Structure 1
Amino acid sequence: MMALPVMTVEQRARVPVKVAEACTARRRWRRLFTCGAVRENLAMIGHIGINVPDLRTAKTYYDSLMPLLGFTEFFTAEDEFAYRPANGKPGTYLFIYPANEVSDYSRHRTGLQHVAFMVRSRSVVKEVHELVTELGATVLHEPRVFPEYPQPYYATFWLDPFGIMLEAVCHHDRD
């Protein structure tokens, strides 16, 4: 992206209004984007819903996992529950519903392939791996750098109790 020049008040007064508005909008967007303060004017998935065959098992599992991934409980009802990003941060909500039709799930068929959760550090990726291992999850990939993806990409992949592939990924080089 092109660097924006610093102008004096006198110089700014001579800039055509449309150019000045474009520069201001570009600075505002960059400030919002780089600070992580994504607002309603940027596209974002509102929520993802996942059907599971056993809502009680899912609730126990996800209640232990989601806080480590940076999510908090949004609500719980008899026939569904949901999580949202913690501390009022913007992001996608995750809803869990009971499956109305019994069938085997496979990430290799048409439908949901996996859900990736971005976390703040590589240490959190390692902590998630330790937790899901303790919970008895099938770990597909232990925490490591994935050179085949745009860098930095440090992640772990595992299956939840129903075979849904989940991922914790850090896009930073920091611990």
Structure 2
Amino acid sequence: MIDHVILTVSSFERSVAFYTQAFGPLGITMAMNFEGQDGHPDLKGFGDGKTIFFWLKEGKSNPDGMHIGFVAEDHGQVDAFYKAALEAGAQMIYEPRIFPEYYPGYYAAWVLDPDGYELELVHKS
């Protein structure tokens, strides 16, 4: 089980704006500014109102080998995320569609965030 993810991004300002818009349809919001001390970096935390599970750390980004998949409630949420992410500046990898090569009912969209991290939103039915 995963408790949280921390992405190192090249710009807090740009990435907070991007994720705020892209996560809007998912009910995920910017929830905490953690001010680091004693060598711990500053962090920006996103969550669902119950817990903070997605964090940004400013520094040298390295998106190679990183793929993050988020769960959607339905196909409409996948579509809304995809639209919001593109409007926020994401690059399209795959438009929302069913990916039968994974299994029937796997409906997903993939985008790249401003630092090149691969994000997927999937509804499995």
TM-score exceeds 0.5: yes
Letter in 2 for 1:124: Q
Alpha-carbon distance between aligned partners in 2 of 1:131 and 1:118, rounded to the nearest angstrom: 16
Alpha-carbon distance between aligned partners in 2 of 1:118 and 1:54, rounded to the nearest angstrom: 26
Q: Report the 3-state secondary structure (helix = DSSP H, G, I; strand = E; otherwise coil) of the residue aligned with 1:68.
A: helix
Number of the residue aligned with 2:9: 52
Alpha-carbon distance between aligned partners in 2 of 1:166 and 1:152, rounded to the nearest angstrom: 19
Say whether the 8 Å CA contact 1:71–1:85 is kept in structure 2.
yes
State whether structure 2 residue 23 is matched by structure 1 residue 66: yes
**Which structure shows the higher strand fraction?**
2
Bigger radius of gyration = 1
The TM-score, its normalising length taken from structure 2, stands at 0.83
CA positional deviation for 1:106: 4.2
Q: Report the 3-state secondary structure (helix = DSSP H, G, I; strand = E; otherwise coil) of the residue aligned with 1:120.
A: coil
The TM-score, its normalising length taken from structure 1, stands at 0.61
State whether structure 2 residue 114 is matched by structure 1 residue 161: yes
The structure whose RCO (Cα within 8 Å, separation 6+) is larger is 2
Number of the residue aligned with 2:33: 76
Say whether the 8 Å CA contact 1:70–1:119 is kept in structure 2.
no
**Which structure shows the higher helix fraction?**
1
**1:146 alignment partner, one of 99, 104, 112:** 99
Q: Which runs of 5+ in 1 are unaligned?
A: 1-43
Q: CA RMSD in A?
A: 2.0
> Structure 1 residues 50 and 106, CA, compared in 2 at 3 Å: closer, same or farther?
closer
Q: Deviations over 1:104-160 (max 9, x none)?
A: x343xxxx4211111111011111111122223210000000111133210000000
Q: Deviations over 1:50-101 (max 9, x none)?
A: 1011111111111112232232333124521111234x3x7x71111011xx
The percentage of aligned residue pairs carrying the same residue is 29
Moved over 6 A (4+): none
